[in-house]
């Protein structure tokens, strides 16, 4: 809901900016967060509670996440797949990436899920997900994806990992 999204934006504003850049050229500003008290996880669980089955109660969001802010128009993310993370508490590896968008991008900035990273599959789009304030996107780590060039700035989101039950949510 909008109140929760406002609180998450306030949290982002209070976090320090991570030092250093991951690559040359424009990229996202990163702010790291550990949800040790379950504050963000509660919001994420509420976002999936509308899925009317018992599997949604078995989703586990890992506590280490990062806020990403794209402030420069033209910033994009090349096609890639995500790596899993190990959760020390449960002893399990993550299976899915989550993106919780905190701002709208009317033009550009979409996350595009791809058929593959090579050949024609790199061109074939499975889905194009526009950043919409409060939208939660969950997808398997092994799903190739890219971030379209941002036009409307800032594009602000939380990115992290989750463990979904075997067979997914549906």
Residue-level pLDDT at 141: 97
Residue-level pLDDT at 169: 59
Q: What is the pTM of this model?
A: 0.91
Q: How many CA atoms lie within 13 A of 155 on its CB side?
A: 28
Residue-level pLDDT at 24: 63
d(CA 126, CA 12): 31
Contact 31, 67 (CB under 8 A): yes
Range from 13-22, 77-86, 95-104, 151-160 carrying the lowest mean pLDDT: 13-22
d(CA 16, CA 142): 30
The arithmetic mean of pLDDT across residues 28-36, rounded, is 94
The arithmetic mean of pLDDT across residues 67-82, rounded, is 94
Nearest to 131 by CA among 154, 156, 101: 101
Q: How confident is the model at residue 86 (pLDDT cuts 50, 70, 90)?
A: very high
Residue-level pLDDT at 167: 66
Q: Could you tell me whether strands 29-34 and 145-147 are parallel, antiparallel, or unpaired per DSSP bridges?
A: unpaired
């Amino acid at each position: 809901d909008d109140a929760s999204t406002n609180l998450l934006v306030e949290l982002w504003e209070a976090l320090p900016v991570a030092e250093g850049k991951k690559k040359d050229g424009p990229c996202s500003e990163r702010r790291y967060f550990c949800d040790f008290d379950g504050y963000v996880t509660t919001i994420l669980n509420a976002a999936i509670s509308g899925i009317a089955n018992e599997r949604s109660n078995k989703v586990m969001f890992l506590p280490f996440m990062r806020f990403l802010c794209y402030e420069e128009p033209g910033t994009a993310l090349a096609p890639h797949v995500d790596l899993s993370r190990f959760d020390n508490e449960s002893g399990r590896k993550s299976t899915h990436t989550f993106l919780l968008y905190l701002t709208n991008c009317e033009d550009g900035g979409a996350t595009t899920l791809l058929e593959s990273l090579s050949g024609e599959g790199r061109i074939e789009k499975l889905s194009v997900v526009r950043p919409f304030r409060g939208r939660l996107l969950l997808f398997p780590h092994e799903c190739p994806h890219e971030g379209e060039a941002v036009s409307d700035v800032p594009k602000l989101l939380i990115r992290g990992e989750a463990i979904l039950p075997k067979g997914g949510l549906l």
